[in-house]
Structure 1
Amino acid sequence: MNAVVDPNGPRLVNIASNPMPEGGRVGYFKTEDNVRLRYATWPKSEGAHRGTICLVQGRTEFIEKYFETVADFRRRGFSVATFDWRGQGGSERLIGNHKLGHVDKFEDYWCDLRSFHGEILLPDCPPPYYLVGHSMGGLASLYAGINDRMMFDRIFLSAPMVALDRQPLSMAGMARVTETLSFVGLGQMPVSRKQDRPMSEATFASNPLTGDMIRYMRAVDVVREWPELAIAAPTVRWAAAAFGAMAEAAQDSFPARIKIPLLMLAAARDEVVSTAAIERLGLRMRTGRHLVLANARHELFMETDSIREQVFAAFDAFITEQS
């Protein structure tokens, strides 16, 4: 059976280079503050039942990008539930320029996740629940581990966005600057760089995300099929929200507030988020650990087969064998 699609509801892009896993269900749900988000769920495909993986993405990403990873989890006996964050993918956009990534405050992502847990996970997906987050979704997942330690049994993070390198100021300093710009009315202005370009065959050679061209091009193919899924630069307001959350994650008191068993994977060649900051946080956590994968770039789930094997070996040791 292919995905169950309401004729008046959302769709998932299903193309030859990125086939949709069978047996899925796609729909919309409303958050507590009335934002419409696109979601999808799949039952396990093999083995004994082990629970449900709640998969949350990074900035700019969308459900279709994780089809292969969804299939990997299902083969291990997990159901999978995922959604597009507000302001990106197939979910509701928050400002007039739909190509800009925007959020008013970082806590809004916690609202998305909390609403998803109550509206979709609890009624429709078998427990126990495990949270898997990448990049920006990894930072949001850390806050989930602080805000409600009963929602998920364990948290597994891929290159969480706990800090950015090569910034002119600290995360707290960058938060103050961007908050000031937002206060004076520039919150919806884009934060972009001259070297930022849309993903294409031409950008693969210099891309900071993955060394695997086939997986890189899958995302390109999906956006070509449905251009409205893509967003480009974030807004100043998004930057203020993100820098504020990263500044809080750098505080000495932050690691002790995480009460859920947690494993963070970092990429040794990451040029998007700070691997050093992930290591510092991992060393200070009481309930968590971290691992750094050699030769890996930022998108660990989209990397080469050899790197993905390491990712799933860590996942299996931390979650599959404990479930």
Structure 2
Amino acid sequence: MLTSIESLPPPPDAVCGMFGCSDGTHLRYAAWPASEDKVRGTVCVFPGRAEFIEKYFEVVSDLRGRGFAVVAMDWRGQGLSSRQVKRRKKGHVDRFRDYEEDLDAFMRNLVMPDYPPPYYALAHSMGAHVLLRYARHGANPFNRLMLIAPMIEIEYGRMSRSFVNGLSEMLTLFGLGGLGAVPAGKPMRFENNPLTSDRARFERMRDFEAANPDLRTGVPTIGWVHAATDSIALVRDPEFAGLVRVPVLMLIGSSERIVSISAAEEMGRRLKAGRTLIIAGGLHELLMERDSIRDQVWAAFDAFIPGEEDADSGLMAIA
């Protein structure tokens, strides 16, 4: 169930399968044991919108080399998990609470029974947003969250979130929530792309989708946009950050164009145990960036994620 390409085959020792959610949705997961004898815990990898497990093979190898077991999942509506609309190439969810419930099922039914603590989350963009939502509940199992380009707020161009939310709500009420929010365009070219400045890593992602077109997720639906803007309003409420008690480190590139840098900085100031680091020159996908940028991300990870007994010094180490 894992797609392989010549330039990036799956890391060895993978276990891959599906697990069910209470509403009948089936989600794909993949897991790897630590590659060292002394296990430092488990890192759970949560992709962003339209991403899939295969995109993180290099990250999995990096984490296993640090002594961690790794478990990753495809969110509902993308990758090889159950799709939510008939035209499977559109990315759809009715409400972001569904993502939270999927995450809870993933942790309680799959990760915690079979993989060693302590548990850490490494999440990107939309995945980071869902992790923040999940962390506001008292039963959160993670010791620390490392969030890459967190979707605290989206860059809407000349429109405001309130306008986008109101329009998408109206269209959804008229039964148009399953339509694409924007026209499907041509495949993204490397030149001037907002994701990464590393051509080889950019092309790998296209190669995975060519090798297995079912991995591809296209434009978000109008319903997804409505659900996303509703959820962003929740996360940006002034009272929200006080509910998150777990230490959080957020990393965002200085050249970010998809999500808001200022919103991530504001969240870092509001969190009880949080910080936002700006990575110079980085675009949206810092873990898929050129080596000089990835090295900064991993240096921050190593300072923040202690593993094993998980002392409280990690957040201070990156100050």
In the superposition, the TM-score normalised over structure 2's length comes to: 0.93
* Bigger mean CA offset, 230-239 vs 278-287: 278-287
Match of 1:247 in 2: 233
Distance in 1 (alpha carbons) for counterparts of 2:96 and 2:284? 21
Q: 1:103 is matched by which residue type in structure 2?
A: V
Q: 1:320 is matched by which residue type in structure 2?
A: P
- Is 1:149–1:259's contact at 8 Å kept on the other side of the alignment? no
CA 1:214/1:228 → structure 2, altered by over 3 Å: closer, same or farther?
same
Distance in 1 (alpha carbons) for counterparts of 2:110 and 2:137? 19
Q: 1:197 is matched by which residue type in structure 2?
A: K
In the superposition, the TM-score normalised over structure 1's length comes to: 0.92
Question: Shift of the alpha carbon at 1:189?
Answer: 1.1
Match of 2:164 in 1: 174
Deviation string for 1:62-90 (max 9, x for gaps)?
Answer: 00000000000001110000110000001
- Is 1:172–1:244's contact at 8 Å kept on the other side of the alignment? no
Distance in 1 (alpha carbons) for counterparts of 2:162 and 2:98? 20
Distance in 1 (alpha carbons) for counterparts of 2:138 and 2:15? 27
Match of 1:117 in 2: 107
CA RMSD of aligned residues (A): 1.4
Query: What secondary structure does 1:204 align onto?
Result: coil
Match of 1:5 in 2: none
Deviation string for 1:214-260 (max 9, x for gaps)?
Answer: 11111111111001110110000000000111112221111111111
Match of 1:50 in 2: 40
Question: Shift of the alpha carbon at 1:151?
Answer: 1.2
Match of 2:127 in 1: 137
**Which of 248, 264, 274 matches 1:278?**
264
Question: Shift of the alpha carbon at 1:174?
Answer: 2.4
**Which of 73, 76, 94 matches 2:66?**
76
Distance in 2 (alpha carbons) for counterparts of 1:221 and 1:316? 30
Distance in 2 (alpha carbons) for counterparts of 1:178 and 1:238? 9
Whether 2:282 is the aligned partner of 1:292: answer no
Q: How many residues are paired up?
A: 309
Match of 1:197 in 2: 186
Q: 1:215 is matched by which residue type in structure 2?
A: R
**Which of 51, 59, 71 matches 1:61?**
51
Question: Shift of the alpha carbon at 1:285?
Answer: 1.4
Query: What secondary structure does 1:320 align onto?
Result: coil
Match of 2:175 in 1: 185
Name stretches of at least 5 consecutive residues in structure 2 with no aligned partner.
311-319
Q: 1:127 is matched by which residue type in structure 2?
A: P
- Is 2:195–2:284's contact at 8 Å kept on the other side of the alignment? yes
Match of 2:151 in 1: 161
Q: Percent identity?
A: 43
- Is 1:208–1:297's contact at 8 Å kept on the other side of the alignment? yes
Distance in 2 (alpha carbons) for counterparts of 1:46 and 1:193? 47
Name stretches of at least 5 consecutive residues in structure 1 with no aligned partner.
1-10
Query: What secondary structure does 1:239 align onto?
Result: helix
